[in-house]
Amino acid sequence: MSENPLAPQRLRFPSDPSALEARIWPASATRTDDGELAVGGVSASDLVLQYGTPLYVVDERDVQSRAVRVRNAFTEAFERIGTRAHVYYAGKAFLTTHVAAWMAEADLRLDVCTGGELAVALAGGADPAMLGFHGNDKSDAEIARAVEVGVGTIVLDSHEEVRRVARAAAEAGIVQRVRIRINSGVHASTHDYLATAREDQKFGIPLSEAVDAAEAVRAEPSLAFVGLHSHIGSQIFDESGFREAARRLMDVHATLVASGPVPELNLGGGWGIDYTEADSAFEPEDVADALATIVAEACAERDIPVPEVAVEPGRYIVGPPGITLYRVGTIKPVTLPDDQTGVPGVSATRTYVSVDGGMSDNVRPALYGADYTARLVRTSDAPAVLTRVVGKHCESGDVVVNDEYLPGDVQRGDLLAVAATGAYCWSLASNYNHVGRPPVVAVADGAARILVRGESIDDLLARDTGVAPVPGTGR
């Protein structure tokens, strides 16, 4: 067999379509003696037998070790330049009460951006003083709740939030620590929907208005100005954007230091992970060393103290430790003529492999054009064929894995695993087409446990007032 002309250039024809690339799959992912995929010492078929499909599976030990690795990388890098680093886990990537507890155990702080995420973090035992609260449109109720429970830092996203947070803090009789999110204008190399610092953008205060915003904060007796905050986007592989954003923030930071204390600088997160073999992700030690060097050099050039630095990784910590298991359904080979293959006189076939989930459990391919890696749970010696893994929803854009080589004997009833689904898949899941959201299980040391139970048809009907009793109405 040879490469299919319909395959993108990034996708290499595999010598072994059952191989598991370590940098893409969970740390504990292996093939058992009979060739079956196992994670955390639990075989995929045993997990499916107990919990069904689709199923999110999280390698608990891998999540915990990644959290510790990031913490250590930034602690060591910034100690070398004479300061401290604070690592906030970006809860939007994947947050449950268990995950909140894992982050606390790893001595990470936690970043939330809605009242719901705040509630989950608190229910998971997070220390409110170790929380940061983001959001471009925080409600008065969310702000009041954050102040009430003692959230460590609220990130101000607009000029009007200065007054609103100050009022809530004054009413509570406290001084609230705040950061100001700055739109640095850095154009990160990522999908438009993942770039969060471009000028025509809903997030943050323009760089040119940062000093005025900080002075407005300093004028409020109920607020304590902690420092500036930057986030340029997500799934970024080019470090130049991080360097430029840090440089621009340091210019403003230095100006503000001249008129008062600025103890911290938050440089955000957003470095990418490997979803496919074509990706080339940063190692956290490299990111930490690069940022520490930038900050140290900028402070030396401006003759100002080195601030404490905060960062907010999410995807790196929970992305690769997660996989999704599906059951294969309809298989449909589609042959395209030479005028669609781009090779004169050569037609080509793409095999559509349908699974029992789709955009309701992973909307990232439809939303961002995201690429993923898939493997059959079993091994096979069959020659590889180009496939497109698609979901069961009534959308042509319902694609789970756009391009992948799978064994040519893939058949109905097979189990299929998609790698690196730990970040932003469960968080973005929906009930489209009235499909219940899948359960999430954690695996470790040969055992599995439920983190979030799946939704049944009864769950879907429970909120429909045509069939469910309406509270307070007697029917």
Active site residues per annotation? 394
Tokens of 30: 């292996």
CA–centroid distance for 117 within its chain: 14
Q: How many helices (H) and strands (E) does the chain have?
A: 13, 21
**Of the candidates 290, 292, 284, the residue with the CA atom closest to the CA atom of residue 313:** 284
Provide Rg for the chain, Cα atoms. Answer: 24
Give the separation between CA 355 and CA 351, rounded to whole angstroms: 13
H-run or E-run covering 242: helix 240-257
| Residue pair 204/179 in contact by the 8 Å Cβ criterion | no
Give the span between the Cα atoms of 66 and 275, in whole angstroms.
Answer: 16
Residue closest to 291 by CA, chosen among 237, 246, 323:
246
Beta-carbon-side half-sphere exposure of residue 170 (alpha carbons within 13 Å): 9
- Give the pair of three-digit tokens for residue 9: 């250039």
> What is the torsional sign of CA 281, 283, 289, 295?
positive
- Both tokens of 327, joined, read 């059951």
| φ, ψ at 424 (rounded to 5°) | 70, 5
